[in-house]
Amino acid sequence: MQDLNRRRFFAGLLAGTALAGAAGINARANRTQAVIVGGGPAGAAAALALREAHPANPVLLVERDPRRLGPVEQASFDRPSAGPDLSTLRRAGVEVVLDDVMGLDWRAARLNLFSGRRLAFDSLLLAPGTAALAEPIPGLDAVARHLWPAAWGNAREARRLRAQLAALPEDGHVVLRLPAELSHPDAALGRAVQIATLLDRTRPDSRFTVLEAGMSSDLSQRFRRRLDAKGVRTRSEWRTGQTGGNVLRVDARNGMLETDGGLLRADVVNFVGLQGAGTIARAAGLSDASGWCPVDARGRSLIRPEAVILGDARKDAKRHVADAVLSGRRVAAFT
Ligand SMILES: Cc1cc2nc3c(=O)[nH]c(=O)nc-3n(C[C@H](O)[C@H](O)[C@H](O)COP(=O)(O)OP(=O)(O)OC[C@H]3O[C@@H](n4cnc5c(N)ncnc54)[C@H](O)[C@@H]3O)c2cc1C
């Protein structure tokens, strides 16, 4: 039954992609009213709100991850689902394009898609969420990021992390690395509690270390309180930037992390990198030195007022689902 649903879903997506391909061609002739990049909570909410507010205007939503809009159950280390699924969006008249936006041509008002197609827009709304920024940590290369998945909004990495934890030796050591500036502090705390709870249940002889590069976080106390409340007894240590939590160098192939508190060896590392606005927003020149997109109260970019930024990518976003949805819904009032 689940397989059938899955098949139907992907068949639906293919049909949608073909439809949207046609819409893209029309768009070149007539110009699409609104194009939204990103089908997470912010982008999906904006698409529905725009259709409701202006039923005569076409809305096109581009999402690269088919799971995001599908009937897929959430598993551990996944971020929350987008909310409205593909059929809800379709019923509301939103055209969904399953593709990856690779670039943006401001002069021609066009998006360049991974498939090679181009999509013209009249108004552009970007809701690409977050993505890891480069960090000057020696050894933190593409191989290290593969071996030590962040699983921070990436379903494939979440699967890899689950598999690595399932294969952990009985007395293994798990490290969760958190960057100095946390994009989603509550999700970071949730991740630490989730791992500690899993280890308590499945590997009572294992050890867990959190390396938080931040200097003054209260997360470690909240972590302790949560574990106590749940009766979780995993051997765990939370280091901050003041107590050796800063990672200076890594050797992922040998499971080694050099910190300012000494050398650590780990069997599984969940290495959460420093986050900024989704890559396409940064590539399009919409972020400032912080890596986030500065916007006005309505979400309009302070760098390029012709673009609206929604959800987590905004510089002052609260970065939880309710705030992302609110930013999407609000957009209909002024677009
Ligand atoms: C691990 C984790 C756990 C979390 N847990 C919670 C929680 O329990 N409760 C809570 O309220 N919040 C939680 N959050 C925060 C919440 O997930 C976000 O605030 C929310 O998803 C932001 O919505 P968004 O639409 O801005 O971005 P996202 O949800 O990140 O969606 C962005 C979408 O854009 C797509 N996209 C990006 N670039 C492109 C491109 N170039 N082309 C096409 N598509 C693109 C992505 O595939 C993605 O689907 C968590 C976050 C993380 C990382």
**So what's the pLDDT on residue 312?**
97
Average pLDDT score over residue span 219-239? 97
Cα separation, 144 vs 224, in Å, equals 29
Task: Grade residue 67 by pLDDT with cuts at 50, 70 and 90.
Answer: confident
- Annotation: CATH topology of 142-273: FAD/NAD(P)-binding domain (3.50.50)
Tell me: pLDDT of 164 over 70: yes
- Return the higher-pLDDT residue of 206 and 69: 206
> For atom 19 of ligand 1, which residue has the closest CA?
320
Tell me: pLDDT of 4 over 70: no
> For atom 37 of ligand 1, which residue has the closest CA?
128
Which atom belonging to ligand 1 lies closest to the Cα atom of 42? 25
Average pLDDT score over residue span 244-271? 97
Pocket test for ligand 1, best of 176, 195, 320 (most atoms within 8 A of CB): 320
Tell me: pLDDT of 15 over 60: no
Average pLDDT score over residue span 48-68? 93
Average pLDDT score over residue span 135-162? 96
Task: Write the pLDDT tens digit of every residue in 279-305.
Answer: 999 999 999 999 999 999 999 999 999
Tokens of 42: 């912010």
Task: Grade residue 261 by pLDDT with cuts at 50, 70 and 90.
Answer: very high
3-state secondary structure of 67: helix
Q: Which residues line ligand 1 (CB under 6 A)?
A: 37-43, 62-65, 68, 79-80, 100-101, 127-129, 152-153, 184, 187, 278, 280, 311-312, 319-321, 324
Quote the ligand 1 centre to 153 CA distance (angstroms). Answer: 6
Which atom belonging to ligand 1 lies closest to the Cα atom of 38? 34
Tell me: pLDDT of 29 over 50: no
Quote the ligand 1 centre to 126 CA distance (angstroms). Answer: 12
Q: How many CB atoms lie within 10 A of CB 171?
A: 12
Task: Write the pLDDT tens digit of every residue in 56-65.
Answer: 999 999 999 9
State the pTM of this model: 0.89
**So what's the pLDDT on residue 198?**
98
Average pLDDT of the chain is 89
Quote the ligand 1 centre to 89 CA distance (angstroms). Answer: 17
**So what's the pLDDT on residue 46?**
97
Tell me: pLDDT of 6 over 70: no
The structural domains of the chain, with segments of one domain joined by +, span 2-130+276-333, 142-273
Task: Point out the least confidently predicted range of 23-32, 187-196, 296-305.
Answer: 23-32
Average pLDDT score over residue span 44-72? 91
Task: Grade residue 80 by pLDDT with cuts at 50, 70 and 90.
Answer: confident
Which atom belonging to ligand 1 lies closest to the Cα atom of 151? 1
Tell me: pLDDT of 207 over 80: yes
As beta bridge partners, residue 7 has: none
**So what's the pLDDT on residue 5?**
41
Task: Point out the least confidently predicted range of 94-98, 103-107, 329-333.
Answer: 329-333
- Return the higher-pLDDT residue of 7 and 289: 289
Average pLDDT score over residue span 302-314? 97
Which atom belonging to ligand 1 lies closest to the Cα atom of 102? 41
Task: Grade residue 72 by pLDDT with cuts at 50, 70 and 90.
Answer: low
> For atom 45 of ligand 1, which residue has the closest CA?
38
Which atom belonging to ligand 1 lies closest to the Cα atom of 319? 19
Pocket test for ligand 1, best of 69, 96, 321, 331 (most atoms within 8 A of CB): 321
> Which H helix or E strand runs over 198?
helix 185-202
CATH superfamily of 2-130+276-333: FAD/NAD(P)-binding domain (3.50.50.60)
Tell me: pLDDT of 257 over 70: yes
**The domains spanning 2-130+276-333 and 142-273 adopt the same CATH topology:** yes
Tell me: pLDDT of 32 over 80: no
Cβ neighbors of 6 (< 8 A, separation 6 or more) are 70, 71
**So what's the pLDDT on residue 277?**
98
CB distance 311 to 40 below 8 Å? yes
Share of the chain above pLDDT 70, in %: 89
Quote the ligand 1 centre to 82 CA distance (angstroms). Answer: 8
Q: How many CB atoms lie within 10 A of CB 238?
A: 22
Which atom belonging to ligand 1 lies closest to the Cα atom of 153? 53
Cα separation, 134 vs 232, in Å, equals 35
Report CA-CA distances (Å) from 146 to 78, 150, 164, 293: 17, 9, 12, 27
Quote the ligand 1 centre to 15 CA distance (angstroms). Answer: 25
